[in-house]
């Protein structure tokens, strides 16, 4: 068992080196590709990211397979209590070593995923620039008079010629057709700091709970009445802070949601009514 | 119809919208679809945007669930069923096999995922090697997904696990093939 454990630890160590080296080598390339891939959906970048993640998976799987074969299925006489005890100790140590690799694997995956950043501001800016260029260039298909495109359209639309009243069909470009989709992502990006404020609360309340719990434990052997009083007051204060934070959470979510939908409405006002229904649905879901 | 969110939008029913999406995913042009449905592009595009909005609004998920069902039944749509993308004879045969042979479906699912894991566009790889478009693939996938959901409801988990294991095994086989084409995996030189 000792020899298997040593070999297993060495094996895991080498796989961890591979995880680190491969991730470190891939990240600059992924960042570069993410910045330079001009495809609307960044397909080249996504293919490469998928391949990198696939290799990380293959390393983790190799470790998992060996753990199953050499550790979990390690042969030993199960009727011998002493050996059984030693085996469980050996198995736990090897499992712990595997979990270290597993944590590193998760961290590497996060780093690789983190290279995906879409610049929605710039995509939106391109739509705005295109609109500025096109808005006065559209001509009536019947009489040739200029027809002003009065706003950004993201679906094919009928526009009536002010001169001859002919109904013209205006088809937006493929990037303008993405306005609704980009609009939501951009609105989320612009208001993400508000969502973070909301999302951080459980962590903060947990920290306050632990602080309070620690004080509570310290009271067990405390006999000094003055100190006991002081500590109880501290605990009450921490509990108060925790309750206050928890009570703020729904309001913070609503603040975020309202800000996000306001942004979305500004970017694509044509669907404001629909956005509002979606807003109400999300708010109701949250309150359930 | 009890759910008002299921009412047609500008005359475009949810079935029209879902079947059109399925047909587009097989490579059929949107304008061709509109012509067959007898509606103008402007109407269809606005209706499409509003159907997406309805799915977002619907907290019961009824609209999304029906969308999935209709997507997989595009070939039964009264108007759009006749619209077929050009598919090779081999592609047609593979598609039929995928509809009836669950093992074959699970194999292609595993192959597609393995292709993605080795940097290929998995959907394109299936198209190139089996002649099945993404739209057709997804349509069949939804049918098998319903079969699996039914098995779960009936507590037939043995069957579910059997096919999950089979898919996993096939994925590993294709992964080994792709790895060999690419000169191996990064940790091939690390041995226990």
Render pLDDT for B111-166 as a digit per residue (tens, 0 to 9).
999 999 998 989 999 999 999 998 889 889 988 998 999 999 999 999 999 999 99
User: Strand, helix or coil at B162?
Assistant: helix
Contact present, B118 and B178 (Cβ < 8 Å): yes
pLDDT per residue as tens digits for the range A211-257? 999 999 999 988 999 999 999 999 999 999 999 999 999 999 999 99
| Continuous H helices in chain A | 2-36, 43-66, 81-113, 120-134, 179-190, 192-199, 201-218, 225-267, 272-287
| Sequence-ordered list of residues with C-beta below 8 angstroms from that of B173, at least 6 positions apart, any chain | B110
The verdict on B146 and B104 lying in the same domain is yes
Q: Tell me if B1 is assigned to some domain.
A: no
Q: Which of A14, A157, A180 sits opposite B190 (nearest CB)?
A: A14
Tell me, yes or no, whether B82 lies in a domain: no
Which CATH number does A2-117 carry? 1.20.58
Q: What is the C-alpha separation between B31 and A263, in angstroms, rounded?
A: 32
Q: Are the beta carbons of A58 and B175 separated by less than 8 Å?
A: yes
Range of the domain at B138: 89-181
The answer to whether B4 faces chain A, any CB pair under 8 Å, is: no
Section A196-223 average pLDDT? 94
Which residue in chain A is spatially nearest to B47 when comparing CA positions? A155
Nearest to A271 among B41, B53, B58 (CB): B53
ipTM entry? 0.73
**Nearest partner of A151 among A127, A129, A172, A135, judged by Cα:** A135
B103 shares a domain with B63: no
Task: Kindly state whether residues B53 and B115 are assigned to the same domain.
Answer: no
B65/B134 same-domain check: no
Residues B27 and B97 in one domain: no
Percentage of residues in chain B having pLDDT higher than 90: 82
Do the domain assignments include residue B128?
yes
Look at the block and give the residue holding tokens 């990198």.
A52
Q: How many domains does chain B have?
A: 2
B121 and B155: one domain? yes
pLDDT at A7 over 70: yes
- The DSSP output letter for A160 is E
Same domain, B117 and B57: no
Q: Where in chain A is the domain with CATH 1.20.58?
A: 2-117
Q: Is the pTM of this model over 0.90?
A: no
Instruction: Report the pLDDT averaged over residues B41-62.
Output: 95
| Token output for A192 | 């993400």
Burial profile A35-54: b = 16 or more Cβ within 10 angstroms, e = fewer: eebeeeebebbbbbbbbbbb
Nearest to B185 among A58, A154, A169 (CB): A58
Q: How far is B100 from chain A (nearest CA, A)?
A: 30
How many CB pairs below 8 A link A and B? 85
Classify residue B84: in a domain, yes or no: no
CA distance A32 to A37: 8
Identify the pLDDT of residue A157: 95
Distance, in Å, from the CA atom of A275 to the CA atom of A278, rounded to the nearest integer, reads: 5
pLDDT at B141: 92
């Amino acid at each position: 068992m000792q020899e298997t454990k040593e070999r297993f630890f060495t094996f895991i160590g080498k796989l961890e080196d591979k995880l680190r080296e491969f991730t470190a080598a891939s990240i600059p390339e992924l960042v570069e590709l993410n910045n330079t891939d001009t495809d609307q959906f960044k397909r080249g970048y996504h293919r490469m990211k998928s391949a990198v993640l696939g290799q990380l998976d293959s390393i983790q799987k190799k470790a998992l397979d060996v753990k199953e074969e050499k550790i979990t299925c390690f042969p030993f006489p199960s009727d011998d209590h002493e050996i059984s005890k030693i085996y469980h100790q050996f198995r736990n140590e090897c499992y712990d070593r595997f979990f270290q690799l597993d944590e590193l694997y998760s961290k590497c995956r996060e780093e690789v995923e983190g290279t995906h950043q879409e610049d929605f501001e710039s995509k939106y800016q391109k739509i705005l620039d295109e609109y500025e260029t096109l808005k006065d260039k559209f001509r009536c298909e019947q009489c040739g008079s200029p027809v002003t495109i009065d706003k950004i359209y993201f679906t094919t639309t009928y526009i009536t010629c002010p001169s001859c009243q002919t109904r013209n069909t205006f088809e937006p470009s493929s990037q303008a057709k993405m306005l609704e989709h980009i609009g939501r992502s951009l609105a989320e990006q612009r208001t993400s700091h508000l969502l973070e404020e909301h999302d951080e609360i459980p962590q903060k309340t947990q920290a306050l709970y632990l602080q309070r719990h620690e004080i509570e434990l310290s009271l067990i052997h405390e006999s000094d009445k003055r100190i006991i009083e002081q500590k109880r007051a501290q605990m009450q204060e921490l509990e108060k802070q925790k309750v206050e934070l928890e009570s703020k959470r729904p309001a913070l979510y609503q603040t975020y949601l309202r800000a996000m939908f306001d942004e979305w409405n500004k970017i694509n006002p044509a669907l404001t009514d629909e956005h509002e229904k979606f807003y109400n649905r999300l708010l109701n879901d949250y309150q359930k | 119809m009890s759910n008002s969110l299921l009412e047609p939008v500008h005359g475009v029913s949810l079935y029209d919208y879902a079947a059109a999406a399925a047909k587009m995913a097989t490579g059929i042009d949107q304008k061709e679809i509109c012509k067959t449905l007898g509606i103008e592009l402007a109407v269809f595009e606005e209706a499409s945007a509003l159907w997406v909005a309805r799915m977002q609004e619907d907290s019961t998920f009824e609209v999304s669930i029906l969308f999935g069902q209709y997507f997989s039944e595009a070939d039964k749509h009264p108007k759009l069923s006749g619209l077929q993308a050009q598919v090779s004879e081999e592609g047609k045969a593979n598609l039929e096999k995928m509809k009836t042979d669950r093992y074959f479906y699970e194999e292609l699912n595993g192959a597609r995922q393995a292709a993605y894991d080795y940097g290929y566009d998995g959907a394109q790889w299936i198209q190139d090697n089996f002649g099945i478009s993404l739209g057709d693939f997804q349509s069949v996938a939804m049918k098998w997904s319903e079969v699996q959901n039914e098995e779960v409801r009936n507590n037939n988990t043995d069957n579910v696990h059997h096919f999950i294991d089979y898919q996993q095994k096939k994925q590993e086989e294709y992964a080994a093939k792709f790895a060999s084409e690419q000169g191996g995996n990064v940790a091939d030189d690390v041995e226990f």
